[in-house]
């Protein structure tokens, strides 16, 4: 950045910004507990949890830090997950919730309870839409993990049910709340890059540990996500996990709110990573039965989206090869661009940066730190994924409490999740262009941006 440019944002020091961006997880006891306005003394937000595996419990950990919630009931088919969850709730000093654990449909009984205002759904992907639809029909706000749907029919189920019931659903896309992402969104809104033309993003995460556990096993008898996630790679050649990358870009480009995804084309490489992992693993080898499997998922799936306002977005899915984690964000407008992520932070703005020179980005991130991070950054520390998980849970609880519409809604859930089936069809049809359904039924023209524009969530 040239000398003389303002570098400090209001009320936050550069080192604090970096600390809260990088931090992974503090001990619960080290965090400040959170006092938020209750509806009234005895009128807390009553929540149910459906799916209390790794992700469900990380939401619960954040929720238990608040004084304006009551966990009425939990549901999971895994007794170990139930036991761990009850332990967390008791350790936090809350009374034991009702437990639903009998079978895969026990969530339907949980949804009949009158003492639940909203549910957090953190189950395997195939359950997200049926559970969210059932929650809306039961009159409960649903906060659903990513992706929200796996087929176009499911995307429409979410939208149709919302329009029938008018019970809101929020897609819990935490990366929209990442500190650097929100600072860049702030730059976009303050016109630092001028009119936007192009963005890149993706999910580039070596998931060997999640896909095979223990050893090279997956499916029944395996542990954690290896019980269900890996099978999608066996059957589907698609961008299986688009929302961590595309969600943040969609908020910057006002998708569904003055702009829209129009078309998509996708390309996939051949598949090598999962086979190589099995063959080279000490518990695998070339004679292991899993070494004979033919994986449908290409190692790198690249999709290009055209928007109604004339931007392009390149989205990458890359989960089967050895590499450091990256969402590889790039945002480019007529005046400049930024490329940023954990491993890379650089910016060029015409008239401010030296000609042909990238600027270091830390000072820009401080200057454009989002007001919500300024307000809640201290609380967010230790909430998971560098603090962003606090914000997504906070937004969900506050919308339930206020009976408000969520900042990331059912139309976002449908449009972002639709990338999976559309990329699958494009690849299957020799990279043919696919049209996004207009899930807003034309209303994107009139809908106004809302994400992170409230002064509280």
Residues in contact with ligand NAD by CB under 6 A are: 50-56, 75-78, 81, 104, 107, 122-125, 127, 145-146, 174, 224-225, 227, 385
For ligand NAD, give the closer residue by CB, 227 or 394. 227
For ligand NAD, give the closer residue by CB, 311 or 318. 318
Q: Which residue, 53, 158, 78, 86, is CA-closest to 415?
A: 158
For ligand NAD, give the closer residue by CB, 76 or 154. 76
* Whole-angstrom distance, CA of residue 36 vs CA of residue 133: 29
* Whole-angstrom distance, CA of residue 333 vs CA of residue 294: 42
Could you tell me the smallest distance in angstroms from the CB atom of residue 365 to ligand NAD? 21
Could you tell me the smallest distance in angstroms from the CB atom of residue 239 to ligand NAD? 13
Q: Please say whether the beta carbons of 421 and 151 come within 8 A.
A: yes
Could you tell me the smallest distance in angstroms from the CB atom of residue 93 to ligand NAD? 24
3-state secondary structure of 299: coil
Beta bridge partners of 307: 261
For ligand NAD, give the closer residue by CB, 65 or 232. 232
Residue tagged 């984690």 (tokens) = 325
* Whole-angstrom distance, CA of residue 286 vs CA of residue 194: 54
* Whole-angstrom distance, CA of residue 118 vs CA of residue 138: 10
Could you tell me the smallest distance in angstroms from the CB atom of residue 90 to ligand NAD? 19
For ligand NAD, give the closer residue by CB, 125 or 162. 125
Could you tell me the smallest distance in angstroms from the CB atom of residue 128 to ligand NAD? 6
- Residue number with the smallest Cβ distance to ligand NAD: 53
Contacts of 365 (CB under 8 A, 6+ apart): 17, 21, 179, 180, 183, 345
For ligand NAD, give the closer residue by CB, 74 or 278. 74
Q: Please say whether the beta carbons of 189 and 326 come within 8 A.
A: no
Could you tell me the smallest distance in angstroms from the CB atom of residue 452 to ligand NAD? 17
């Amino acid at each position: 950045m040239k000398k003389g440019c303002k570098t400090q944002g209001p009320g936050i020091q550069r080192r604090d910004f970096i600390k809260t961006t990088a931090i992974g997880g503090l001990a619960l006891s080290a965090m400040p507990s959170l006092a938020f306005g209750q509806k009234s003394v005895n009128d807390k937000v009553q929540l149910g949890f459906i799916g209390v595996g790794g992700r469900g419990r990380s939401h619960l950990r954040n929720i238990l830090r608040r004084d304006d919630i009551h966990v009425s009931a939990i549901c999971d088919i895994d007794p170990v997950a139930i036991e761990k969850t009850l332990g967390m709730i008791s350790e936090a000093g809350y009374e034991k919730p009702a437990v639903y654990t009998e079978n895969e449909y026990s969530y339907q009984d949980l949804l009949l309870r009158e003492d639940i205002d909203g549910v957090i759904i953190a189950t395997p992907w195939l359950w997200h839409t049926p559970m969210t639809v059932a929650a809306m029909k039961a009159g409960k706000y649903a906060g659903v993990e990513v992706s929200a749907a796996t087929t176009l029919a499911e995307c429409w189920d979410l939208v149709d049910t919302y329009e029938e019931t008018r019970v809101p659903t929020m897609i819990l896309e935490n990366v929209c709340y990442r500190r650097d992402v929100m600072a860049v969104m702030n730059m976009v809104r303050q016109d630092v890059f001028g009119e936007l033309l192009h963005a890149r993003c993706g999910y580039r995460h070596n998931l060997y540990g999640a896909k095979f556990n223990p050893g090279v096993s997956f499916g029944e008898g395996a542990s954690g996500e290896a019980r269900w996630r890996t099978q999608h790679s066996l059957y589907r050649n698609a961008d299986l996990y688009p929302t961590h990358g595309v969600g943040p870009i969609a908020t910057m480009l006002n998708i569904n709110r003055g702009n829209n995804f129009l078309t998509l084309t996708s390309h996939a490489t051949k598949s090598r990573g999962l086979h190589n992992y099995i063959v080279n693993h000490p518990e695998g080898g070339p004679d292991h039965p899993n070494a004979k499997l033919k994986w449908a998922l290409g190692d790198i799936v690249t999709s290009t989206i055209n928007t109604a306002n004339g931007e392009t977005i390149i989205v990458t899915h890359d989960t089967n090869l050895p590499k450091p984690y990256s969402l590889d964000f790039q945002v480019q407008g007529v005046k400049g661009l930024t490329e940023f992520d954990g491993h890379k932070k650089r910016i060029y703005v015409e008239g401010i940066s030296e000609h042909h020179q990238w600027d270091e980005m830390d000072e820009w991130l401080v200057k454009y730190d989002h007001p919500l991070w300024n307000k809640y950054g201290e609380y967010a520390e230790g909430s998971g994924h560098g603090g962003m998980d606090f914000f997504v849970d906070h937004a969900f609880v506050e919308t339930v409490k206020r009976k408000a519409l969520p900042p990331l809604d059912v139309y976002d859930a449908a449009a972002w999740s639709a990338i999976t089936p559309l990329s699958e069809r494009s690849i299957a049809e020799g990279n043919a262009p696919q049209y996004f359904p207009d899930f807003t039924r034309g209303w994107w023209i009139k809908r106004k941006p809302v994400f992170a524009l409230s002064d509280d969530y």
